[in-house]
Each structure stands twice: as structure tokens, then as C-alpha cells.
């Protein structure tokens, strides 16, 4: 399950950055394209965000995350590049865990 969390964290971070890119670069230049892309990008980001949060709650006890680490993992989902930090710091023992 840690492998799924790692993949979800990376995809959630990418979708967050794509959503910001759409807002910052495409919206001022081409509003119609921005509006067309907003729903699929936003929906995929929303699904990945929910999956990230659910997987974090499921893995909390299995990975022995204390309350501070768990709080950092949850708050990182709200910050750009935060999930990449979580993936790097908290999923480093990915190949040591047998699923």
C-alpha cells in the first residue's frame, strides 16, 4: 500500500502544479482553453487529493507515523511541492516493505 501512496503523492503533486499552470499561464492568454481544461484537471486533482488523504489515514498506523509526522503529511497536500517532499522523506523505505 505504501507503493500506491507514493504514486498517488507524486501524481497529486503533478496535478496540483498543472492546475496552477493552467490558472497562471493559460487563463490570461486564452480564457476559453482555460475553461475547457479546468474541469478535467480539477476533477483529476480532486480525486488524487482525496486518495492521498485516505491513503495517509490508512498508512498512519502501519508506518508508525507519530502525530507530528502525520500532520506534516496532511498539511503537505495543501502546499505546492509538498507531496514531493512527503514522497521523498516518508516513503524512502519503499523497497524494504513487502506487501
At 81, list the grid cell: 511541492
Q: Are 73 and 90 in contact (CB under 8 A)?
A: yes
The enclosing H or E element of 44 equals helix 31-62
Q: What residues contact residue 53 under an 8 Å CB cut-off, 6+ apart?
A: 74, 77
Give 43-98 pLDDT, tens digit per residue. Answer: 999 999 999 999 999 999 888 889 999 999 999 999 889 988 888 888 765 444 44
Neighbours of 8 (CB within 10 A): 22
Across 1-5, 31-35, 37-41, 49-53, least confident range: 1-5
The enclosing H or E element of 26 equals none
Neighbours of 62 (CB within 10 A): 10
Give 70-85 pLDDT, tens digit per residue. Answer: 999 999 999 889 988 8
The reported pLDDT for the residue numbered 93 is: 58
Q: What residues contact residue 35 under an 8 Å CB cut-off, 6+ apart?
A: none
Give pTM, 2 decimals.
0.83
Q: Is it the case that residue 99 has pLDDT exceeding 60?
A: no
Amino acid at each position: 500500500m505504501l507503493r500506491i501512496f507514493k504514486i498517488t503523492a507524486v501524481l497529486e503533486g503533478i496535478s496540483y502544479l498543472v492546475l496552477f499552470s493552467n490558472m497562471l499561464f493559460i487563463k490570461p492568454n486564452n480564457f476559453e482553453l482555460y475553461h475547457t481544461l479546468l474541469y478535467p484537471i480539477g476533477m483529476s486533482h480532486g480525486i488524487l487529493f482525496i486518495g492521498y488523504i485516505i491513503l495517509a489515514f490508512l498508512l498512519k498506523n502501519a508506518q508508525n507515523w507519530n502525530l507530528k509526522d502525520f500532520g506534516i503529511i496532511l498539511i503537505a497536500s495543501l502546499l505546492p511541492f509538498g507531496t514531493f517532499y512527503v514522497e521523498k522523506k516518508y516513503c524512502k523505505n519503499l523497497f524494504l516493505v513487502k506487501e
